[in-house]
A and B are shown apart, each in its own frame.
Chain A
Amino acid sequence: MAMTLNDDQNMLRDSARDFMASEAPVTHFRKFRDMGCKDGFSHGLWKQFAEMGFTGILIPEADGGMGMGQIEAGIVLEEIGRNLSPSPFLTTSVAAVEALKLADKAMRDRWFPGILAGETVIGIAIEEGVKHRPEKIACVATRSGNGFKLTGQKQFVVQGASSDMLIVAARTAGAAGETDGLTLFAVDKDAAGLSMEATRLVDSAVAAHVKLDGVQVDADAIIGEVDGGWSVLSKMLDAGRVGAAAEMVGVGTGAMDLTFDYLKTRKQFDRVIGEFQALQHRAAHLYGEMEGARSIVLKAQSLIDEGHAKAELYVAAAKAKAGLACNLAVREGVQMHGGIGMTDEYDIGLYMKRDRGLNEFFGDTYYHADRVATMNGY
Protein backbone atom coordinates (compact mmCIF):
# COMPACT_ATOMS: atom_id res chain seq x y z
CA MET A 1 0.00 0.00 0.00
CA ALA A 2 1.20 3.50 -0.80
CA MET A 3 1.88 5.59 2.29
CA THR A 4 -0.38 8.39 1.13
CA LEU A 5 -4.09 8.95 1.68
CA ASN A 6 -6.38 8.13 -1.25
CA ASP A 7 -9.16 10.40 -2.51
CA ASP A 8 -11.85 8.91 -0.26
CA GLN A 9 -9.59 9.24 2.76
CA ASN A 10 -8.78 12.85 1.90
CA MET A 11 -12.50 13.58 1.67
CA LEU A 12 -13.10 11.97 5.05
CA ARG A 13 -10.26 14.04 6.51
CA ASP A 14 -11.72 17.25 5.10
CA SER A 15 -15.15 16.53 6.52
CA ALA A 16 -13.78 15.43 9.92
CA ARG A 17 -11.58 18.53 10.01
CA ASP A 18 -14.47 20.87 9.21
CA PHE A 19 -16.78 19.10 11.63
CA MET A 20 -14.44 19.16 14.65
CA ALA A 21 -13.36 22.73 13.98
CA SER A 22 -16.95 23.97 13.84
CA GLU A 23 -18.80 21.64 16.26
CA ALA A 24 -16.13 20.64 18.77
CA PRO A 25 -13.24 23.11 18.87
CA VAL A 26 -11.23 23.78 22.01
CA THR A 27 -13.93 26.22 23.22
CA HIS A 28 -16.36 23.28 23.29
CA PHE A 29 -13.95 21.30 25.45
CA ARG A 30 -13.51 24.30 27.78
CA LYS A 31 -17.25 24.70 28.14
CA PHE A 32 -17.78 21.13 29.32
CA ARG A 33 -14.73 21.27 31.55
CA ASP A 34 -15.81 24.52 33.19
CA MET A 35 -19.35 23.32 33.86
CA GLY A 36 -17.87 20.34 35.71
CA CYS A 37 -19.78 17.96 33.43
CA LYS A 38 -20.07 14.57 35.15
CA ASP A 39 -19.46 12.71 31.86
CA GLY A 40 -16.69 14.95 30.58
CA PHE A 41 -18.26 14.96 27.12
CA SER A 42 -21.44 16.04 25.35
CA HIS A 43 -24.05 13.38 24.50
CA GLY A 44 -25.35 15.79 21.87
CA LEU A 45 -21.96 15.81 20.18
CA TRP A 46 -21.86 12.01 20.30
CA LYS A 47 -25.17 11.97 18.37
CA GLN A 48 -23.68 14.36 15.85
CA PHE A 49 -20.72 12.00 15.45
CA ALA A 50 -23.28 9.32 14.55
CA GLU A 51 -25.00 11.59 12.01
CA MET A 52 -21.61 12.13 10.37
CA GLY A 53 -21.15 8.35 10.18
CA PHE A 54 -18.11 8.44 12.45
CA THR A 55 -19.37 6.16 15.22
CA GLY A 56 -19.75 3.17 12.89
CA ILE A 57 -16.55 3.68 10.92
CA LEU A 58 -15.09 0.32 12.04
CA ILE A 59 -18.41 -1.56 12.25
CA PRO A 60 -18.70 -4.01 9.33
CA GLU A 61 -21.11 -3.12 6.53
CA ALA A 62 -23.03 -6.35 7.17
CA ASP A 63 -23.74 -4.98 10.65
CA GLY A 64 -24.86 -1.62 9.31
CA GLY A 65 -21.56 0.24 9.66
CA MET A 66 -19.08 1.80 7.25
CA GLY A 67 -16.76 -1.23 7.21
CA MET A 68 -13.64 0.95 7.10
CA GLY A 69 -10.26 0.42 8.73
CA GLN A 70 -7.79 1.87 11.20
CA ILE A 71 -6.57 4.49 8.72
CA GLU A 72 -10.06 6.00 8.53
CA ALA A 73 -10.63 5.77 12.28
CA GLY A 74 -7.26 7.45 12.69
CA ILE A 75 -8.24 10.29 10.39
CA VAL A 76 -11.16 11.12 12.70
CA LEU A 77 -8.98 10.68 15.80
CA GLU A 78 -6.35 13.07 14.50
CA GLU A 79 -8.97 15.80 14.18
CA ILE A 80 -10.32 14.94 17.63
CA GLY A 81 -6.78 15.36 18.95
CA ARG A 82 -6.15 18.61 17.13
CA ASN A 83 -9.31 20.14 18.64
CA LEU A 84 -9.23 18.33 22.00
CA SER A 85 -12.81 17.28 21.19
CA PRO A 86 -14.12 15.22 24.11
CA SER A 87 -16.00 12.08 23.04
CA PRO A 88 -16.23 8.33 23.65
CA PHE A 89 -14.95 7.67 20.11
CA LEU A 90 -11.65 6.01 21.05
CA THR A 91 -13.07 3.70 23.70
CA THR A 92 -16.43 2.93 22.13
CA SER A 93 -16.06 3.20 18.35
CA VAL A 94 -12.51 1.94 18.16
CA ALA A 95 -11.53 -0.34 21.06
CA ALA A 96 -14.97 -1.75 21.96
CA VAL A 97 -16.02 -2.16 18.33
CA GLU A 98 -12.85 -4.12 17.54
CA ALA A 99 -13.65 -6.51 20.40
CA LEU A 100 -17.34 -6.80 19.52
CA LYS A 101 -16.49 -7.56 15.88
CA LEU A 102 -15.18 -10.88 17.22
CA ALA A 103 -18.36 -11.56 19.21
CA ASP A 104 -21.33 -13.64 18.05
CA LYS A 105 -24.23 -12.15 16.10
CA ALA A 106 -26.54 -11.81 19.10
CA MET A 107 -23.95 -9.70 20.91
CA ARG A 108 -23.24 -7.56 17.85
CA ASP A 109 -26.96 -7.03 17.29
CA ARG A 110 -27.33 -5.97 20.88
CA TRP A 111 -24.62 -3.28 20.88
CA PHE A 112 -23.85 -2.09 17.36
CA PRO A 113 -27.19 -0.30 16.70
CA GLY A 114 -26.73 1.90 19.77
CA ILE A 115 -23.17 2.76 18.76
CA LEU A 116 -24.30 3.52 15.21
CA ALA A 117 -26.98 5.83 16.61
CA GLY A 118 -24.56 7.63 18.92
CA GLU A 119 -26.55 6.54 21.96
CA THR A 120 -24.38 3.84 23.45
CA VAL A 121 -21.14 4.35 25.34
CA ILE A 122 -18.87 1.45 26.24
CA GLY A 123 -16.10 1.46 28.84
CA ILE A 124 -12.97 -0.68 28.67
CA ALA A 125 -12.23 -2.28 32.04
CA ILE A 126 -8.74 -3.75 31.72
CA GLU A 127 -6.33 -1.97 34.03
CA GLU A 128 -5.93 -3.18 37.60
CA GLY A 129 -2.85 -1.23 38.62
CA VAL A 130 -1.46 2.21 37.92
CA LYS A 131 0.46 0.92 34.90
CA HIS A 132 -0.74 -1.02 31.85
CA ARG A 133 -0.14 -4.74 32.48
CA PRO A 134 -2.82 -6.68 30.58
CA GLU A 135 -1.19 -10.07 31.07
CA LYS A 136 -1.20 -9.52 34.83
CA ILE A 137 -4.99 -9.42 35.02
CA ALA A 138 -6.09 -11.02 38.29
CA CYS A 139 -9.83 -10.22 38.31
CA VAL A 140 -11.47 -13.65 38.67
CA ALA A 141 -14.42 -15.18 36.84
CA THR A 142 -15.67 -18.42 38.42
CA ARG A 143 -18.30 -20.65 36.86
CA SER A 144 -21.75 -20.00 38.26
CA GLY A 145 -25.12 -21.03 36.86
CA ASN A 146 -24.94 -20.96 33.07
CA GLY A 147 -22.31 -18.25 33.22
CA PHE A 148 -19.71 -16.72 35.50
CA LYS A 149 -19.37 -14.66 38.64
CA LEU A 150 -16.84 -11.81 38.43
CA THR A 151 -14.82 -10.59 41.37
CA GLY A 152 -12.06 -8.01 41.36
CA GLN A 153 -11.31 -4.35 40.69
CA LYS A 154 -10.52 -2.22 37.67
CA GLN A 155 -9.28 1.33 37.24
CA PHE A 156 -8.58 3.99 34.61
CA VAL A 157 -11.87 3.01 32.95
CA VAL A 158 -12.30 6.12 30.82
CA GLN A 159 -15.91 7.28 30.74
CA GLY A 160 -16.73 4.16 32.74
CA ALA A 161 -19.42 5.85 34.81
CA SER A 162 -21.10 7.15 31.64
CA SER A 163 -21.07 3.75 29.98
CA ASP A 164 -23.99 1.48 29.21
CA MET A 165 -21.74 -1.54 29.20
CA LEU A 166 -18.23 -2.38 30.31
CA ILE A 167 -15.93 -4.79 28.51
CA VAL A 168 -14.28 -6.58 31.42
CA ALA A 169 -11.24 -8.82 31.09
CA ALA A 170 -11.13 -11.51 33.76
CA ARG A 171 -9.25 -14.68 34.46
CA THR A 172 -11.19 -17.92 33.94
CA ALA A 173 -8.04 -20.06 34.21
CA GLY A 174 -4.31 -19.75 34.76
CA ALA A 175 -2.42 -17.31 36.93
CA ALA A 176 -1.59 -13.61 36.71
CA GLY A 177 1.22 -13.19 34.21
CA GLU A 178 -0.13 -15.78 31.77
CA THR A 179 -1.85 -14.80 28.55
CA ASP A 180 -3.88 -18.02 28.44
CA GLY A 181 -6.93 -18.28 30.64
CA LEU A 182 -8.34 -14.80 30.12
CA THR A 183 -11.92 -14.19 29.01
CA LEU A 184 -13.70 -11.00 27.96
CA PHE A 185 -17.19 -10.21 29.21
CA ALA A 186 -19.79 -7.62 28.27
CA VAL A 187 -21.08 -6.47 31.64
CA ASP A 188 -24.18 -4.32 31.95
CA LYS A 189 -23.54 -1.13 33.94
CA ASP A 190 -26.54 -1.88 36.19
CA ALA A 191 -25.46 -5.43 37.06
CA ALA A 192 -25.83 -6.28 40.74
CA GLY A 193 -22.50 -6.17 42.58
CA LEU A 194 -20.94 -3.66 40.19
CA SER A 195 -20.02 -0.28 41.66
CA MET A 196 -18.07 2.64 40.32
CA GLU A 197 -16.30 5.70 41.61
CA ALA A 198 -15.87 8.33 38.92
CA THR A 199 -12.82 10.53 39.19
CA ARG A 200 -11.65 13.48 37.13
CA LEU A 201 -8.24 13.27 35.47
CA VAL A 202 -5.67 15.94 34.74
CA ASP A 203 -7.04 16.37 31.20
CA SER A 204 -10.64 16.68 32.50
CA ALA A 205 -11.56 13.25 31.19
CA VAL A 206 -13.58 11.28 33.72
CA ALA A 207 -12.40 7.76 34.53
CA ALA A 208 -13.83 5.19 36.91
CA HIS A 209 -12.54 2.85 39.55
CA VAL A 210 -14.75 -0.22 39.22
CA LYS A 211 -15.51 -2.82 41.87
CA LEU A 212 -16.85 -6.21 40.83
CA ASP A 213 -18.23 -7.98 43.84
CA GLY A 214 -19.57 -11.33 42.63
CA VAL A 215 -21.19 -9.87 39.52
CA GLN A 216 -23.25 -12.60 37.83
CA VAL A 217 -23.08 -12.76 34.03
CA ASP A 218 -24.72 -15.28 31.70
CA ALA A 219 -22.89 -17.27 29.04
CA ASP A 220 -24.17 -14.88 26.39
CA ALA A 221 -22.03 -12.11 27.91
CA ILE A 222 -18.83 -13.80 26.74
CA ILE A 223 -16.96 -12.05 23.91
CA GLY A 224 -14.99 -14.64 21.95
CA GLU A 225 -13.87 -17.88 23.57
CA VAL A 226 -13.66 -18.81 27.24
CA ASP A 227 -9.96 -18.87 28.27
CA GLY A 228 -9.08 -17.59 24.79
CA GLY A 229 -9.69 -13.91 25.48
CA TRP A 230 -6.09 -12.87 24.82
CA SER A 231 -6.58 -12.82 21.05
CA VAL A 232 -9.68 -10.62 21.35
CA LEU A 233 -7.98 -8.47 23.98
CA SER A 234 -4.90 -8.04 21.79
CA LYS A 235 -6.95 -6.89 18.82
CA MET A 236 -8.92 -4.50 21.02
CA LEU A 237 -5.79 -3.13 22.67
CA ASP A 238 -3.89 -2.73 19.40
CA ALA A 239 -6.78 -0.82 17.84
CA GLY A 240 -6.95 1.36 20.95
CA ARG A 241 -3.20 1.88 20.95
CA VAL A 242 -2.88 2.87 17.32
CA GLY A 243 -5.99 5.00 17.79
CA ALA A 244 -4.47 6.78 20.79
CA ALA A 245 -1.31 7.24 18.71
CA ALA A 246 -3.34 8.84 15.91
CA GLU A 247 -5.04 11.12 18.42
CA MET A 248 -1.60 12.07 19.75
CA VAL A 249 -0.51 12.97 16.22
CA GLY A 250 -3.46 15.35 16.28
CA VAL A 251 -2.69 16.70 19.75
CA GLY A 252 0.99 17.15 18.89
CA THR A 253 0.22 18.81 15.57
CA GLY A 254 -2.32 21.09 17.21
CA ALA A 255 0.20 22.10 19.87
CA MET A 256 2.92 22.55 17.26
CA ASP A 257 0.76 24.76 15.03
CA LEU A 258 -0.22 26.95 18.00
CA THR A 259 3.43 27.25 18.94
CA PHE A 260 4.71 28.03 15.44
CA ASP A 261 2.02 30.71 15.06
CA TYR A 262 3.17 32.18 18.35
CA LEU A 263 6.83 32.18 17.22
CA LYS A 264 5.78 34.15 14.14
CA THR A 265 3.93 36.86 16.07
CA ARG A 266 5.50 37.30 19.51
CA LYS A 267 8.07 40.12 19.61
CA GLN A 268 10.94 40.52 22.05
CA PHE A 269 14.21 42.48 21.63
CA ASP A 270 12.43 44.27 18.75
CA ARG A 271 12.26 41.05 16.76
CA VAL A 272 9.76 38.31 16.11
CA ILE A 273 11.12 35.49 18.26
CA GLY A 274 10.82 33.03 15.35
CA GLU A 275 13.87 34.81 13.88
CA PHE A 276 16.08 33.35 16.60
CA GLN A 277 18.02 30.34 15.42
CA ALA A 278 17.92 28.76 18.88
CA LEU A 279 14.15 28.47 18.48
CA GLN A 280 14.20 27.73 14.73
CA HIS A 281 16.33 24.62 15.18
CA ARG A 282 14.14 23.30 17.96
CA ALA A 283 11.06 23.99 15.85
CA ALA A 284 12.53 22.15 12.86
CA HIS A 285 13.57 19.20 15.04
CA LEU A 286 10.09 19.03 16.54
CA TYR A 287 8.56 19.09 13.07
CA GLY A 288 10.76 16.13 12.10
CA GLU A 289 9.68 14.18 15.17
CA MET A 290 6.00 14.81 14.44
CA GLU A 291 6.45 13.84 10.79
CA GLY A 292 8.10 10.61 11.89
CA ALA A 293 5.26 9.90 14.31
CA ARG A 294 2.70 10.56 11.59
CA SER A 295 4.52 8.12 9.29
CA ILE A 296 4.85 5.22 11.72
CA VAL A 297 1.22 5.62 12.83
CA LEU A 298 0.08 5.44 9.20
CA LYS A 299 2.30 2.40 8.67
CA ALA A 300 0.89 0.63 11.75
CA GLN A 301 -2.68 1.41 10.72
CA SER A 302 -2.15 0.06 7.23
CA LEU A 303 -0.50 -3.11 8.55
CA ILE A 304 -3.46 -3.80 10.85
CA ASP A 305 -5.84 -3.19 7.95
CA GLU A 306 -3.83 -5.62 5.78
CA GLY A 307 -3.76 -8.24 8.57
CA HIS A 308 0.05 -8.17 8.32
CA ALA A 309 2.12 -10.34 10.67
CA LYS A 310 4.27 -7.34 11.67
CA ALA A 311 1.29 -5.19 12.67
CA GLU A 312 1.82 -5.75 16.40
CA LEU A 313 5.46 -4.61 16.21
CA TYR A 314 4.53 -1.46 14.33
CA VAL A 315 1.63 -0.67 16.64
CA ALA A 316 4.00 -0.83 19.61
CA ALA A 317 6.54 1.36 17.82
CA ALA A 318 3.79 3.78 16.75
CA LYS A 319 2.40 4.17 20.27
CA ALA A 320 5.91 4.68 21.63
CA LYS A 321 6.92 7.18 18.93
CA ALA A 322 3.68 9.14 18.93
CA GLY A 323 4.06 9.38 22.72
CA LEU A 324 7.59 10.75 22.41
CA ALA A 325 6.80 13.21 19.63
CA CYS A 326 3.55 14.51 21.10
CA ASN A 327 5.17 14.89 24.48
CA LEU A 328 8.00 16.89 22.91
CA ALA A 329 5.44 19.07 21.09
CA VAL A 330 3.60 20.03 24.26
CA ARG A 331 6.75 20.55 26.32
CA GLU A 332 8.33 22.75 23.66
CA GLY A 333 4.95 24.40 23.22
CA VAL A 334 4.66 25.51 26.83
CA GLN A 335 8.31 26.55 27.01
CA MET A 336 8.25 28.56 23.79
CA HIS A 337 5.05 30.31 24.83
CA GLY A 338 6.85 31.53 27.92
CA GLY A 339 4.79 32.86 30.81
CA ILE A 340 1.52 32.90 28.92
CA GLY A 341 1.93 29.18 28.30
CA MET A 342 1.51 28.63 32.03
CA THR A 343 -1.90 30.30 32.12
CA ASP A 344 -5.18 28.43 32.14
CA GLU A 345 -6.56 30.98 29.69
CA TYR A 346 -4.17 29.91 26.96
CA ASP A 347 -4.82 26.63 25.13
CA ILE A 348 -1.30 25.19 24.98
CA GLY A 349 -1.53 23.87 28.56
CA LEU A 350 -4.68 21.95 27.68
CA TYR A 351 -2.71 20.12 25.00
CA MET A 352 -0.04 19.27 27.54
CA LYS A 353 -2.64 17.70 29.83
CA ARG A 354 -4.28 15.74 27.04
CA ASP A 355 -0.93 14.37 25.90
CA ARG A 356 -0.29 13.07 29.38
CA GLY A 357 -3.59 11.18 29.44
CA LEU A 358 -3.13 9.67 25.99
CA ASN A 359 0.48 8.72 26.69
CA GLU A 360 -0.69 6.61 29.63
CA PHE A 361 -3.64 5.04 27.82
CA PHE A 362 -3.12 1.33 26.92
CA GLY A 363 0.59 1.41 27.69
CA ASP A 364 3.09 4.26 27.69
CA THR A 365 6.18 4.83 25.55
CA TYR A 366 8.40 2.76 27.83
CA TYR A 367 5.98 -0.16 27.92
CA HIS A 368 5.78 -0.22 24.14
CA ALA A 369 9.51 0.32 23.56
CA ASP A 370 10.04 -2.72 25.78
CA ARG A 371 7.62 -4.70 23.63
CA VAL A 372 9.49 -3.60 20.51
CA ALA A 373 12.69 -4.96 22.05
CA THR A 374 11.02 -8.26 22.96
CA MET A 375 9.45 -8.65 19.53
CA ASN A 376 12.81 -7.82 17.94
CA GLY A 377 14.34 -10.72 19.82
CA TYR A 378 16.22 -9.20 22.77
Chain B
Amino acid sequence: MEDTININVELQDGSRVTLEAPTDMGLSVMEVMKANELNVPAICGGMAICATCHVEVLQSGELPEPSDDEAYMLETLPHATATSRLSCQLKVKPELDGLVVRLMPEA
Protein backbone atom coordinates (compact mmCIF):
# COMPACT_ATOMS: atom_id res chain seq x y z
CA MET B 1 0.00 0.00 0.00
CA GLU B 2 1.18 3.49 -0.78
CA ASP B 3 0.43 4.99 2.59
CA THR B 4 2.00 2.15 4.56
CA ILE B 5 5.62 1.77 5.59
CA ASN B 6 7.59 -1.06 7.14
CA ILE B 7 9.17 -0.79 10.56
CA ASN B 8 11.50 -3.53 11.79
CA VAL B 9 11.77 -4.18 15.47
CA GLU B 10 14.40 -6.28 17.19
CA LEU B 11 12.78 -7.79 20.26
CA GLN B 12 14.31 -8.39 23.69
CA ASP B 13 15.14 -11.98 22.65
CA GLY B 14 17.07 -10.82 19.58
CA SER B 15 14.48 -11.88 16.99
CA ARG B 16 13.16 -9.36 14.48
CA VAL B 17 9.62 -8.61 13.36
CA THR B 18 8.44 -6.37 10.52
CA LEU B 19 5.42 -4.20 11.22
CA GLU B 20 3.27 -2.42 8.68
CA ALA B 21 2.47 1.10 9.74
CA PRO B 22 0.01 3.52 8.17
CA THR B 23 1.47 6.99 7.61
CA ASP B 24 -1.85 8.82 7.53
CA MET B 25 -3.08 8.26 11.07
CA GLY B 26 -0.68 10.40 13.06
CA LEU B 27 0.68 7.37 14.91
CA SER B 28 3.98 7.12 16.73
CA VAL B 29 6.33 4.14 16.39
CA MET B 30 5.43 3.27 19.99
CA GLU B 31 1.73 3.15 19.12
CA VAL B 32 2.40 0.91 16.14
CA MET B 33 4.42 -1.48 18.32
CA LYS B 34 1.69 -1.56 20.95
CA ALA B 35 -1.02 -2.08 18.34
CA ASN B 36 0.96 -5.13 17.21
CA GLU B 37 1.05 -6.36 20.79
CA LEU B 38 4.79 -6.10 21.21
CA ASN B 39 5.98 -6.03 24.78
CA VAL B 40 6.32 -2.26 25.15
CA PRO B 41 4.92 -0.91 28.43
CA ALA B 42 4.79 2.75 27.31
CA ILE B 43 3.24 3.48 30.68
CA CYS B 44 2.84 7.23 30.26
CA GLY B 45 1.03 6.90 26.95
CA GLY B 46 3.37 9.04 24.88
CA MET B 47 4.34 12.07 26.96
CA ALA B 48 8.08 11.34 27.01
CA ILE B 49 8.11 11.00 30.78
CA CYS B 50 8.59 7.31 31.53
CA ALA B 51 11.02 6.05 28.85
CA THR B 52 9.36 2.64 28.89
CA CYS B 53 9.25 2.80 25.07
CA HIS B 54 13.01 3.36 24.75
CA VAL B 55 14.50 2.03 21.49
CA GLU B 56 17.90 2.13 19.87
CA VAL B 57 17.75 3.09 16.20
CA LEU B 58 19.86 0.57 14.29
CA GLN B 59 19.14 1.79 10.79
CA SER B 60 17.26 4.77 9.42
CA GLY B 61 17.23 7.70 7.07
CA GLU B 62 17.41 11.15 8.55
CA LEU B 63 15.29 11.40 11.68
CA PRO B 64 13.99 14.59 13.24
CA GLU B 65 16.09 15.76 16.21
CA PRO B 66 14.74 14.85 19.65
CA SER B 67 12.77 17.60 21.36
CA ASP B 68 14.22 19.06 24.57
CA ASP B 69 11.92 16.87 26.66
CA GLU B 70 12.96 13.74 24.83
CA ALA B 71 16.67 14.64 24.84
CA TYR B 72 16.57 15.33 28.56
CA MET B 73 14.84 12.02 29.27
CA LEU B 74 17.36 10.13 27.10
CA GLU B 75 20.19 11.79 28.98
CA THR B 76 18.95 10.42 32.28
CA LEU B 77 18.64 6.81 31.04
CA PRO B 78 21.35 4.43 32.14
CA HIS B 79 21.34 2.37 28.94
CA ALA B 80 20.93 5.02 26.27
CA THR B 81 23.26 4.98 23.27
CA ALA B 82 24.08 7.63 20.70
CA THR B 83 21.11 6.54 18.60
CA SER B 84 18.61 6.03 21.41
CA ARG B 85 15.11 7.44 20.97
CA LEU B 86 11.80 7.36 22.74
CA SER B 87 9.61 5.59 20.21
CA CYS B 88 6.56 7.56 21.36
CA GLN B 89 8.20 10.68 19.95
CA LEU B 90 8.92 9.19 16.50
CA LYS B 91 6.00 9.93 14.20
CA VAL B 92 5.28 7.40 11.47
CA LYS B 93 6.05 9.20 8.20
CA PRO B 94 7.02 7.96 4.71
CA GLU B 95 10.69 8.86 5.43
CA LEU B 96 10.73 6.24 8.19
CA ASP B 97 10.18 3.35 5.76
CA GLY B 98 12.66 0.56 6.50
CA LEU B 99 13.46 1.84 9.99
CA VAL B 100 15.15 -0.73 12.23
CA VAL B 101 14.92 -0.28 15.99
CA ARG B 102 15.84 -2.42 18.97
CA LEU B 103 13.76 -2.52 22.15
CA MET B 104 15.90 -1.38 25.08
CA PRO B 105 15.90 -2.65 28.69
CA GLU B 106 13.66 0.16 29.92
CA ALA B 107 11.01 -0.93 27.42
Chain A bound to chain B: no
Interface residues of B, Cβ cutoff 8 Å to A = none
